[in-house]
Amino acid sequence: MQVLKHIWLFIRTNLWIIPLALLLAWGLIRFLDPAPPRHLVMTTGSETGAYHGFAQRLAERLEHQGLSLELRPSKGSMENLQRLVADNPDVQIGMVQGGTAGLLDSAQRSRLQALAALYHEPLWLFQRTGESVDTLADLNALRLGVGAEGSGTWAVVKALFAEAGQQERFGSLNQGLWQPLDSQSAASALLAGELDAAFLVLPADHPLISRLVADPELELADFAQAEALAARLPYLRQLHIPMGLLDIAGNLPPSSASVLSPVATLVVNEAFHPALATLILQESREILREGTLLDAPDAFPAATPLDLPLSNEADYYHRNGVPMLQRYLPFWIASLVDRYVVLLIPFIAIMIPLFRSMGPLYRWRIRARVFRWYGQLRRIDRLIQNDQIQNQRDEELANLHQLEDDLTRVDVPLSYAHELYTLHLHVRYMISRLESIPTDE
């Protein structure tokens, strides 16, 4: 029973720590990142295009992981970028062609980060047979399709000619030989003989590429400056297109060629919850695992080439793979544990010294039951020293006898009993001193 009383005293002494711990926990949770959302909106591209097709496959896989991915078709990379950098964006993630982010101003670019390069999108240059285009300068006098203004093709081609000092040509399109045509229009113009050459950014298995490479009046240009331009523009890669790659039976193309290639890129804005990066990248890896004609198996998603900085979470994934917890736990559980581990570390760091103070506070509380009587003894001692005790001797003596009786009812743990008995001795000593003082009678 005595033990229970002292346990209850210990608890009462340290009750202050409960509201303090709750306040501390509330403060940490208040400033901790919120839990990842279960719904994302992604801006893709044309509903018949490769971007939208990839996004549909990603949405199906994420649905099995408990994340709903809503798809918003668009006209292409530039519209996707404008949606992502809007003041109050209603999308959090999008598909963007490498190089197009350079068309944004620095303030807009600072609001975007990349998760990964997904796959190559070759910049094909088709020419009429016999034109012998080897360098950018060879295109100056030709009727050339440079991509629809503001499109991904247009952005990359403009960057190429900027390296050659001919960027001003893009300020007078529609007034000369160069025409701002989309891929479908440029392909039709080439097949009809209305263009001498055209740039197109399309996947290798796109039907338009198959039509153009099969036309005997057209040929795929072997771009001699591809390696040099890829060295100057880090978001581009030089790709080698071997003879027969696009059609083994027809041996198309009939000879090898070098082309430049941007990459399809996953881009996120400030509204994207960073914890979802790993989940999206892991599911993207499963989609791209088998590779394509141009991409080796397991080559993507990759950290390069990109024209936007990687998010911290994406950078960790590309360097180290899936975080440890997510290798053994479902994503949502691992995410929850990870968030609260971050919360627990500072909580423990602050609470340890507070818990250490519980013992001293309890000891002070127990000793206070004993030590508070010493004030009375010291007061009497000073009266004796100052020869002021004569008039109060009997009264103080009666008080000390009462104190002796009170001390018999003071309850302390056994570990503090010596302090109580020491007080008994000191009270008896002071009684003896008072009794030895003669009265005035």
Distant-in-sequence contacts of 365-374, Cβ < 8 A, 24+ apart: 365/9, 365/13, 366/9, 366/412, 366/413, 366/416, 367/416, 367/419, 369/410, 369/412, 370/410, 370/412, 370/416, 370/419, 370/420, 370/423, 371/419, 373/403, 373/407, 373/423, 373/427, 374/423, 374/426
| Amino acid, res. 59 | A
Distances from the Cα of 27 to the Cα of 15, 114, 356, 433, angstroms: 20, 32, 22, 59
> Tokens 């100052």 appear where?
386
At 134 the pLDDT is: 87
The rounded distance, in Å, linking the Cα atoms of 190 and 321 is: 45
CA-angle at 193, arms to 188 and 197, nearest 5°: 80
At residue 18 the predicted structure's pLDDT band, cuts being 50, 70 and 90, is low
The predicted model scores a pTM of: 0.70
The rounded distance, in Å, linking the Cα atoms of 82 and 424 is: 85
At 151 the pLDDT is: 80
The rounded distance, in Å, linking the Cα atoms of 435 and 389 is: 12
131-190 residue pLDDT tens: 888 889 899 889 999 988 878 888 899 899 888 888 777 766 656 688 888 888 999 999
With 70 as the cut, is the pLDDT of residue 33 above it? no
The rounded distance, in Å, linking the Cα atoms of 278 and 264 is: 18
With 70 as the cut, is the pLDDT of residue 200 above it? yes
With 90 as the cut, is the pLDDT of residue 240 above it? yes
Report residue 369: phi and psi, to 5°: -65, -30
At residue 218 the predicted structure's pLDDT band, cuts being 50, 70 and 90, is very high
Task: Single out the residue of 259, 206, 205, 265 nearest to residue 235, CA to CA.
Answer: 265
**Domains with residue ranges and CATH for the chain:** 37-117+268-322 (3.40.190.10), 122-261 (3.40.190.10), 360-436 (no CATH)
Neighbours of 375 (CB within 10 A): 8
66-83 residue pLDDT tens: 999 999 999 889 899 999
At 9 the pLDDT is: 45
